[in-house]
Amino acid sequence: MKYRELFEARKQVGQNIRKLVIDEGYSKTFFAEKIGVSRPTLDKLMEGSVNNPNFFERHIDRVLSATGWNAQDLLMDDGTTLENDVAIEGLRKLPIGIQSFEKIRKGGFIYVDKTEYIYKLVHSGIPYFLSRPRRFGKSLLVSTLKAYWEGKKELFNGLAIERLEEIDGGSWEAYPVFCFDFSREGYQSENALEEVLDTCLKEWEAIYGCDDPDRSPAIRFQNLIKRAVKQTGKPCVVLVDEYDKPILDIFENKELSEHNRDVFKGFFSCLKGFDDYLKFVFITGVTKFNKVSIFSDLNQLDDITFDNAYAGLCGITEEELGRYFATEIEEVARTRNISTTDCRDRLRRSYDGYCFSSDMLGIYNPYSLLKSFSKKQFGSYWFETGTPSFLLKKVKDLSFDVKSFNDGSLFITEKNIADYRADDDNPVPLLYQTGYLTILGYDDIRESYRIGFPNDEVRYGFLENLMDVYAKGIGAGTGKDILSIDHAIENGDVEAFMNAVTALFASIPYSSADTVFEHYFQAVLYMLFTMLGKYVICELHTYSGRVDCVVETRGYVYIFEFKRDGSVDEAIEQIEKMKYDLPYAADKRILYKIGVSFDSEKRTLSEWKLA
């Protein structure tokens, strides 16, 4: 096809470029960069207002070369029109909370194309397990696999897998699919898990028949698989989403938790020895509980949780952020009156930082990112979905060194981090698997991971929730909350600040079973000043028996020396002796030097003094 024909139909060509840009999820800014033209030139192409044939030919050639589209794509006329730029931006629908691949594709929502990973998975013939934190796209991944195995080719138009299947000669055949979704139900009541399984089995028995409704769920499932294979002539696909929710939901109820493990042991062990009947098996969860039958009996499962090849399977990478969400970044930047560079820095600090493999590919939390784009704010959204209270309580009861979560001093092996036992006192594996900690570095020689908080959203959210476990009644309006304390610091009100800290320590419900005061003394101060670091410059150092800290605001500098079982005069003497104030000798801000004493026997802040 000659370029002259395209030039003569340049209005229609421009309309089709705009439609294809929308379908592929590009912003106009990103697409212009992709094809190597300026934004004004792209606008002219889309408007069909390029009147120079040579200029038109040169730039249309760039479009076709960079995208893989063909000339016929640009000449199609389906009778629809897009009137202006607002129409393009108005069609950019964010799939917040939508876990159905079919709904996303049919509803015109932005879809970050992960189908190249899907292609590798479905053509391997291997049963897989994947662990990722909640709200990281596991359910959407399972829904995408379901659509693929049901042969819904039309949902994959324009995605990477469509091209790959053409190269490979894939036929998009439909197979019998048994998809268990454990993410949608509550499991607090007895036999709730059995009821969910029974509902699934009855739905499929209505399709494939049932001769044995009174048999155990495991036998019914085995017979379902056999009947499906016999009736369709094809092996079956088994997909399991959030297998561990029935365990995590009732984790503190040991009896019911153990009961649900036994149910799984009896149910999914029925797949053992059924290789001839199965085409594909894929199981997701937040955790990989050791000794649960899904893993002990299905020992052929390939756990890809830490695989470099699948590190970007869930979540959003830096490259995907720029490719799919440049428009949203521009909108947030405009709303917040900051540059797009500053906007991306804020997004990175707030929601990036997750790593799931040794190659250290950075991953953004997709839920928080989409919510940020929707609200046009840098809020704390992931924590709105809830934090397991038993995890926070375990950290406190074990007197765990909270500082290690934040300073990169925590190391663990892949084996320890991957296999979690219900009777394990160490909270670190579960904190990692549930998304509160992530990989910060990898030691090739020792084959160990350095882990810690991934980003500011998790850091401040976790510490705020943990502080509520240590000290009661410190919510908004109590005068002991972090915003009230920050207000006092920002306004140079030392007395209000110290009264708040005194009240904070008085709120801690100690008991005879608790550890020595030293842990509370250090942990609460560390959490307090780390959370203050969200608003002001704060540097904290902890030692045995004392803590020193420098807090900087726009108008004030505070130098604190906290002593356990020492006098306030000794604390101030320490400030003078160590010359903590020397770096601020020429500083025009008001400087406060404050000594604070804690009584470990009474477990209170006993006195403070301003030098």
For 14-34, how does the pLDDT look when each residue is reduced to its tens digit (9 = 90+)?
A: 888 887 776 666 777 778 877
What average pLDDT does range 274-289 have in this prediction?
89
Q: Given 3-state DSSP classes, what are the helix, strand and coil percentages for the chain, each rounded to the nearest 5? A: 50, 15, 35
503 vs 51 pLDDT, higher one:
503
The pLDDT value given to residue 82: 41
Query: Higher model confidence: residue 321 or residue 387?
Result: 321
CA distances from 538 to 34, 105, 223, 559, 590 (A): 42, 47, 63, 10, 16
Can you give the pLDDT at residue 513? 46
CA pseudo-torsion sign 307, 308, 310, 313: positive
pTM of the model: 0.81
pLDDT of residue 294: 60
Distance CA 393, CA 390 (A): 5
The region of weakest confidence among 112-121, 346-355, 413-422 is: 413-422
| Parts of the chain belonging to CATH 1.10.260.40 | 3-85
pLDDT tens, position by position, 415-451: 777 666 666 778 888 899 889 999 999 998 888 999 9
Q: Of 52, 125, 76, whose CA–CA distance to 281 is shortest?
A: 125
pLDDT tops 60 at residue 512: no
pLDDT for position 44: 82
- 236 contacts 175 by C-beta, under 8 angstroms: yes
Let me know: does 571 contact 597? Beta carbons within 8 Å: yes
pLDDT at position 387, please? 66
Beta strands in 183-294 (DSSP E): 236-241, 278-285
- Kindly provide the residue ranges of all beta strands, DSSP E only, lying in 162-220, ordered along the sequence: 177-181
State yes or no: pLDDT of 547 exceeds 90.
Answer: no
Q: Residue 2 above 80 pLDDT? A: no
Question: What's the pLDDT at 249?
Answer: 85
State the pLDDT confidence band at 299, using cuts at 50, 70 and 90: low
Mean pLDDT score across all residues of the chain: 86
What pLDDT is stored for residue 423 in this prediction?
A: 63
pLDDT tier, 136 (very low <50, low <70, confident <90, very high otherwise): very high
Higher pLDDT, 393 or 367: 367
Lowest mean pLDDT across 59-68, 303-312, 488-497, 553-562: 59-68
Q: Predicted confidence band at 372 (pLDDT cuts at 50, 70, 90)?
A: very high
Tell me what pLDDT residue 386 has: 62
pLDDT of residue 289: 66
pLDDT tens-digit series, residues 257-270: 888 888 888 888 88
Q: Identify the residue with better confidence: 512 or 275.
A: 275
In this structure, of 159-173, 232-246, 353-367, the range with the lowest mean pLDDT score is: 159-173
Percent of the chain with pLDDT over 90: 50
Backbone φ and ψ for 608, nearest 5 degrees, come out as -145, 160
What's the pLDDT at 420? 62
Indicate if the pLDDT at residue 291 is higher than 60: no
3-class SS string, 196-212: HHHHHHHHHHHHHCCCC
Its CATH class, for the domain covering 101-310, is alpha beta
- What's the rounded mean pLDDT across residues 105-127? 93
Model pLDDT, residue 28? 74
CATH number for region 3-85: 1.10.260.40
**Are the CB atoms for 152 and 171 separated by under 8 Å?**
no
Q: Is the pLDDT of residue 324 over 60?
A: yes
Average pLDDT estimate for 542-562? 86
The share of the chain scoring above pLDDT 70, in percent, equals 90
Tell whether the model's pLDDT for residue 383 goes beyond 70.
yes
Q: 84 falls in which pLDDT band (50, 70, 90)? A: very low
Confidence class for position 91, pLDDT limits 50, 70, 90:
low
Are 100 and 241 in contact by the 8 Å Cβ rule? The answer is no
Q: Which of 37-51, 313-327, 455-469 has the lowest mean pLDDT?
A: 37-51
Q: Where in the chain is the domain with CATH 3.40.50?
A: 101-310
Residue 80 or residue 248, greater confidence = 248
